Structure formats: structure tokens, C-alpha cells
Structure 1
């Protein structure tokens, strides 16, 4: 590592020196070249010279090499300008643009965009400033119908610097008559401000009428999203995955899944280094609520088989197929119960992950360097409307990645509310004039920062000149074709924005600290900047809400962090939905209330093995000690009264309990025989009847279904005597 620290390319130079020392005897007999490169893309000096010499000889043999012995090479940005003025009537088969490594190959590409970018409109700054050359492939007619292709090197007429050409990465530009250039819309920029549109916005009618109020419990809001259908879906696929792993005796109920999710939520605000420590008997780590709700081994078993997709029907082209079905379900629920607002923002959200997966990304300098990336559309306060996991180039598209993401998420929101106008805010990774033009027909307004090379030749003041102006200076232009306003504003640094909704006026005021005056002063701020700062931070609010009490329990499978993140997003949406109805509760108390209610409502009471305290009952002694058909088995024997026979008690109310060990296994009903009358009790007339329910340690699913089938054939008289827990 000491050779990598000084500068980029040091590791390649070190490897080349070792090869030269090892094969020094070859230089006297052969032309020996040490070709070395690094994983980040940096080449050794010998490798650069070798490739450059090959290029020179190729150009010299073709007759394109300059007689002066050196060539002036244009930058990529200058070549793109030449392409835009290219004559479409030329008989050209194609154009190849060869780009040299940026900054002489001394740096690697750390941009968060695509790795295999083949669109000239999506190149980053270093690639646009890098030297490049253009080769035009022309068709030349000969005798007959045959055609031959000739390469014509386009030599520049002027340049600012002299570069050593090293053609490595290439970007192919399609035929100008059929390529992407035909999709570029003409722009007519004039010095005019965008008129403020005063259309009143009214919220759309809700798809579902909520019966909840601000007095409702937090668990009621949470169960709107994780309702019985979602829990049943997770339970079914978890059991299927356990059977796939040859555990045919695994059984799971909806109550246990609710309790399992409650423990996950609790770990967010009460984290421990190891998840087994929640069940330890030591006073410093023991959690009474967790230990009473579910046993440790049972939690480990559910966590081992936790699954949300059918492995037999996975889409091979989808890298996120194991979690995609649950995300589709939750996206629908997020929109159904969403407090719809006019303004929402689109940005990326980071999901921490430190394992191995093809979709994991690393960006140096980010708060979460190793993570999965998710594209999120969120309201101003952080309510997640839609989420889409990024898996790389997985589907064909005609636009750049940023425009594709914004269009996809916006169309999903518009599909639920087609007649509603929305205002979308995004940063410079997504914004471009093409995006604003594309969504204009969908009644969607876009406002966002934009990179300097994506303004379609808007004649704004240069950045260097703008920096020399006073703080608060701004310049603006308006595209009259698509009604797009471009603004460049000088603050701590120069920022450029595009919008088809807001312009410069009315000019706002911003407070900034002045070093010269040694106090805070007021500077001019365009209205578009004020609106952008007000509504852009929705996804950041979502990340902040999740990051404070993120689920602390981790797993070894790659999809576990993503599913934990989805549970955190659901808790966040539940709390914001409650606040939209007027509830006054903070995030921590809301999360604690959900965890406590889930564990107390769905958790099992018995956790410790061994003898238990006797259970107090109000069953008459004559009934409890009656021996006829009173079968006590290992497990639990539960007896029930019926409404017809005991009018003073509810139907299905537990009356007597035979203590035993609850094995949490399959519940098997005994064959039903005509009920035997119990002795009459003093406080309940006429006599009551009972039926037993046996918890067997091992009961195959086929046997359970057979006994249930026999039970369904009984007369209706005994139907009230049956209860099937779980």
C-alpha cells in the first residue's frame, strides 16, 4: 500500500519495475515493453508510451499523421459541439469518438452515475475536458452495388493545449440521421423571466376513507401497511423457504410474525451488540418484554427462514427478484394511504451493506460508503411515496439514468392521481432540459439544480465571471419553445437551476455572514432558489428519521438489510400519517408504542422451561374434576362453553386450563365424539359440554388436514364446540 499512497499509477510503476528487473536479459534481443495498469484505470508510463506509439504508426500508415510530428487534439466538449453542427445530408455510416483518460490517467472515475455510459449527454466533467479525436466512417460507392467504408480523421483547426493521444475508452455516436441527436429539441434562449403561474392546487380525493383519528393508537397506523394480507404473504413464503431447506416440520403463524417484527423494531431504539443478549438472564442486557413475547430459539429459527419471494419463480434478469414482490406491495400501500401534497422530491437513499453483492456500491466521501442505492420519491416531511431499488443497467432505455428514474417514479404517482398537477424537485444528477420537456405533457412541473454542461448552450454568464460579481448576483434566460427558465446565482459558490414553474421574481432575501462586515447581511435570492430549498429535502428527512433508530439486528443474507430498511420506512410513514391527522407524538415514542403493542398483543406468555405457577380459573370444581372424556395430554388441554348452553358466558370463552408445556408446534384436533354432559354447576344452568384440543410435539400437516376434514362433517350442533388456535 505504500506505493499507492503517493499518487495514482504508483502501483503500476512499481509492477513495471519488477518486471523489468526480472526480464532484463530480454531487452538485448527483443523489444520488451512492461505493460502495467491498475484496477482503478491508471496505466504505467511504459504502457502509455506503447499505446501512443501504436497510434502514431497507425496514423502514419494511413496518411493522417501531421507532418510536423505532433497533433493538436480537441477536447471531448469541443468535438460534441462540432457534431451538433454536422450536416445530416452527408453519407456517413457512423462516427466514433475516442476519449483519452481524464487528466492524463492520473485519476479514476468516482462519479455516482453509470459505469458503462454510452451517451454523450451523460459524460462527467473530467471526460468532457479530456482530449479526444473523432473518426467519421463514410460510405463510398464503387462499381456495382458494393460499398466500402473509409475512415476520415477529423483534424482540429485550433486548440488550446497539446496532448499526447492515448486512445483507450471509446464512446460510439450513432448515425446523425438516425441517432439520439434527432431527439434534441431546439432551444431559443432570450433575456426574460418566467411568469409566475397562480393556479390554485386542490388535493385529490383519497382512494380509501380512513377511519383512524388523531386519538388512534400507533399500532393501528402501522397495521394499515403491514395488514393481515401482507403478514400472510410473508408467512407463506417463509414456510415455503423452510420446506425448501428440508425443514418440513417448520410451522409459523401470523401472530408470531407480528411478534418477530416487533422485536426488530424494538432493536432500533434499544440496540445490543448481539441479538441473543436480549434473552440473557444478566440484568445489564436482559429485556423482559422480548423474553416474555418469544423464545430465543424460535426467533432465530424465524430469522433463518425469513423470506418474501418464491425461489421457484424468480426472474433471472432481475437482481432484486427476491425482494421485488414485497416492494411492489408496499409501494401500492404507500400511495393509497399517502397524505398527498403538490410538492415532492426525488433523490437517492442509501441502505448500509458491507457484504458481497453485484448491486452494492461504494462512493468515497459519503456518510454511508458501502451500500445499496434506492431511488425514492418523498414529500417535504419525508413520507415515502415510491421507492425503486437500483440494480445497474437492467432494462433498455432511450434516455439518461437520471431522466429515466424521475420519469419512472413520476409516472407511478401519476397513475394513481392522473388529474392532479405535481411539482417535482431533484438535484443536478437528474435535472436536464430534456427532462423538463418530456414531462411537460404529463402536467408535471420540474425544478432542480443542473450541471453546467447540461443547459443546452444557454448563454448565461460564465461561472468564472459570475464568481467575480457581488454576492447575490444572478443571471437568467428563458427558452420560449418549452417555457424553461435557466438561472445562475452567485452565493458561497455559483449554482445553476432549471425550472418550468418558477423564475427569478419575486426576489427573496437570504441571510449570509459577511467576513468584511463581520455580521450577517441580506442578499438577493431568486424565487426558484427559495422554492427549491423549501421542498427539496424530503428524501434527506426520510434518511434522517430512519438513521436515528435504524433496526440494529443484522443477518448474513444480502436482502436482510433491505427488508429491515423497508420496515423502518413503514414505521416512518405510519408516524407521518398520524401527524397529518393531528396526532402529537414524536418519532421515538411512536416507535416504542408500536413495538410494545406488537409484543404484548401477539407475543406468547410462556418462555421459561420447567414447572410453572398454577393457573387460576373460575371453572366449577364439579366440572374440573369430572373424569369422563377429560383427557389431559402433554401440551395444553383447553375446554370451551357454548353460547346455547351457557347464556351467561361468551361463546368460545376459555373455562378451564390443564397446564403443560407449550411446544409451539402444529395444533391437532382430536376426533370429535358426542359430548358428555358435565356436572351441573351452581352458577351456570343448564349443564355445559367441553371438547379437547391437543398440542402434539410432531404432527404432519397431512394429518391435521385430515382431522379438520372429519371435523367439518359433524352436525351443526357441535360446531360451536370447536376452536382451532393459530
Structure 2
């Protein structure tokens, strides 16, 4: 509905909602709802910027993790739209909603969110830096709840990807594919982008390092660099692309690593798209209520995904 009150209005009322609770009672409960006893919270607990919402986030995350995980998972960032005042609000110009709260998430190919965390800004500066960097630590944190040695596969973009990260995941029996920035791959001499461009769209080059990780550079409209621990260029397939010169569609060679990455990387993006379809319309002076309502939306989408998964299993052969 476009507004909360619409569920109780005569022309648009929804029996599933209005027959259970009156409008005034629902709106009153929204103003009074709390997730933490403010009088019994220690000073150490209050160092957490999300301490007022922490019990809810912990229990919701625990419930998500009870669901058996899929084989392929994408790690990416999500945005909770918010334009009010808060120390946690960030600005991300590349996102559809540029202002809001940033969340890290691990979602399956179906869009089911298994693990998440709300970004609280920079970590403790006194903390010793790991060899995978701050972004790599986020992937390790999101995948720490995945069972080891079960042939799970993780996908992420070039913000997270590095060779040490791939090695850390490989030690736990988790495979990885991600786009990569070439300054994070040391001593790797790949064919220059200009040389690939001369060969035409679909040209590619690859290297295998000492740890059997594959680095692939593929030229489409521009060069794309990928790093993988389990997929290379074979088998090379074809993908349809529009050619401006001939003004017709042409078939362009595409390595297997690109096809696999495109197929399984969109889990978090799919979840964000589904959240955008059912945006909440209430307003509150308490900024953390926007995070809470967003997680309620995510929980409903997860429930729908779980229902669809169960329905497929119940369908006869």
C-alpha cells in the first residue's frame, strides 16, 4: 500500500490487517516499540552504535543462519534508504538510493539473505591489519558462518577480491570468483588492454599462479579482470552483443569464468530489487527504526524464498 493508513481505509482496507488490530493501536505501538531496556545497558554495550537494536539483529541473524545454505553465495553491500540525521548515514553516489545506512550481506543465488551486518564506519585504528585488508576481512566475516569443506562457492566484486583472501577461503574448502584490481595481483604480466582491443571483442588472456589460482583478462567493451580458485577460461562459450558498426547482434566468445561470475554474483542485487518493490512508507524520529523495518522486509522476502524452495521439493518428479 502507498501508506500505512490505507490498510484501514474503507476503499482500500485489507482484512488480514484491519481485522487483527485497529489503526490507532498499530500506530501507537510503532511509537512505543523498543528492543532494549535502556536502564539496564552497560557503558561497554553502549559503545556499539546499534545497541538499541542489537538484540533484534542478533536474533534475526541467528534465525537466518538456521536455514541450510545454497551452494553459491554472493557477498556485497546493501543500502537502507535514509536522509535524516545519523552518524551511521553514508553517501554512495553509484547506488539508486544515494543516502542511507550501509549493510554487508551474504545472499544465495535465490536472493535469500543468510548473514548480514550493519556498517558502523571505520574499525578500531589500533587493530592490527590483516593480510587480506579491511574489505577482505568483511568477506571472511560473512563466510565464517559457512560450513567448511562443503564445496561452497563465494562471489564478490573487485572491492573485496585479493589473492590472500582466495587462499584463506581455500584453506576452509571454499571456492572463490571475483573481479579484481590488477594492483592487488603482484608480478602478473597480462596482455595490455590496447592489444586485446586490437584483437577485437571476446579476446582474452590468462595466467595461473603458483597456488593454482587463475587470473583472466577478457575484453568486452573494456577489459575485465577476474580471479578464481576453481574456474578458468574453458569451456569458452558465446554471448550475444550489439555491434555498432554493423548495427546487428554478433556472437562474442566468453570464457567460463565470466559466465559463472555473471550467473551467481547477483544474489544481493536481487534481494535489493525485491526490497525496492515493497518499500515501507512509515516515518519515525528514531533513525534505527528504518534499519529495523528494512530487516522486517528482508525477513518477509526470505520467508517467500524459503516457501518457493519447499514448494519445488514437494512437486512430484
TM-score of the superposition, structure 1-length normalised? Answer: 0.41
- The answer for the alignment partner of 1:407 in structure 2 is 140
Q: Select the residue among 31, 38, 46 that pairs with 1:316.
A: 46
Give the superposition deviation at 1:421.
2.4
Give the superposition deviation at 1:288.
5.6
Cα deviation, 1:188-220, whole Å, max 9, x if unaligned, reads: xxxxxxxxxxxxxxxxxxxxxxxxxxxxxxxxx
Give the superposition deviation at 1:515.
2.1
- The answer for the alignment partner of 1:332 in structure 2 is 62
Q: Tell me if the contact between 1:433 and 1:456 (Cα under 8 Å) persists in the aligned partners.
A: no
Q: Select the residue among 185, 188, 194 that pairs with 1:464.
A: 194
Q: Tell me if the contact between 1:447 and 1:532 (Cα under 8 Å) persists in the aligned partners.
A: yes
How many matched pairs?
A: 306
Give the superposition deviation at 1:364.
2.1
- The answer for the alignment partner of 2:165 in structure 1 is 435
Q: Secondary structure at the match of 1:309?
A: coil
Distance 1:522 1:288 in 2: 53
Distance 1:513 1:374 in 2: 36
Distance 1:459 1:528 in 2: 19
Cα deviation, 1:270-291, whole Å, max 9, x if unaligned, reads: 122xx445545xx455556544
Q: 1:576 to 1:397 in 2, by over 3 A?
A: farther
Cα deviation, 1:157-204, whole Å, max 9, x if unaligned, reads: xxxxxxxxxxxxxxxxxxxxxxxxxxxxxxxxxxxxxxxxxxxxxxxx
Instruction: Establish whether residue 421 from structure 1 lines up as the match of residue 151 from structure 2.
Output: yes
Give the superposition deviation at 1:529.
0.5
Distance 2:7 2:128 in 1: 48
- The answer for the alignment partner of 2:98 in structure 1 is 369
Instruction: Establish whether residue 346 from structure 1 lines up as the match of residue 79 from structure 2.
Output: no
Cα deviation, 1:20-63, whole Å, max 9, x if unaligned, reads: xxxxxxxxxxxxxxxxxxxxxxxxxxxxxxxxxxxxxxxxxxxx
- The answer for the alignment partner of 1:565 in structure 2 is 294
Q: Tell me if the contact between 2:178 and 2:226 (Cα under 8 Å) persists in the aligned partners.
A: yes
Q: Select the residue among 434, 440, 452 that pairs with 2:182.
A: 452
Distance 1:444 1:324 in 2: 29
Q: Select the residue among 304, 310, 321 that pairs with 2:31.
A: 304
Runs (5+) with no aligned partner, structure 1: 1-269, 585-726
Q: Tell me if the contact between 2:149 and 2:172 (Cα under 8 Å) persists in the aligned partners.
A: no
Cα deviation, 1:633-662, whole Å, max 9, x if unaligned, reads: xxxxxxxxxxxxxxxxxxxxxxxxxxxxxx
Distance 1:411 1:392 in 2: 21
Instruction: Establish whether residue 398 from structure 1 lines up as the match of residue 125 from structure 2.
Output: no
Give the superposition deviation at 1:507.
1.0
Q: State which drifts further: 357-366 or 382-391.
A: 357-366
Q: Tell me if the contact between 1:318 and 1:394 (Cα under 8 Å) persists in the aligned partners.
A: no
Q: Tell me if the contact between 1:423 and 1:446 (Cα under 8 Å) persists in the aligned partners.
A: yes
Q: 1:437 to 1:419 in 2, by over 3 A?
A: closer
TM-score of the superposition, structure 2-length normalised? Answer: 0.90
**Larger RCO (CA under 8 A, 6+ residues apart):** 2
Q: 1:287 to 1:582 in 2, by over 3 A?
A: closer
Pick the structure with greater CA Rg. 1
Structure with a larger share of its residues in strand:
2
Distance 2:111 2:177 in 1: 18
- The answer for the alignment partner of 2:283 in structure 1 is 554
Q: 1:336 to 1:287 in 2, by over 3 A?
A: closer
Distance 2:224 2:171 in 1: 27
Q: Tell me if the contact between 1:471 and 1:491 (Cα under 8 Å) persists in the aligned partners.
A: yes
Cα deviation, 1:357-396, whole Å, max 9, x if unaligned, reads: 1111012242010011111100001001101111112343
Runs (5+) with no aligned partner, structure 2: none
Distance 1:505 1:419 in 2: 24
Distance 1:531 1:286 in 2: 46
Q: Select the residue among 577, 580, 583 that pairs with 2:306.
A: 577
Give the superposition deviation at 1:304.
1.0
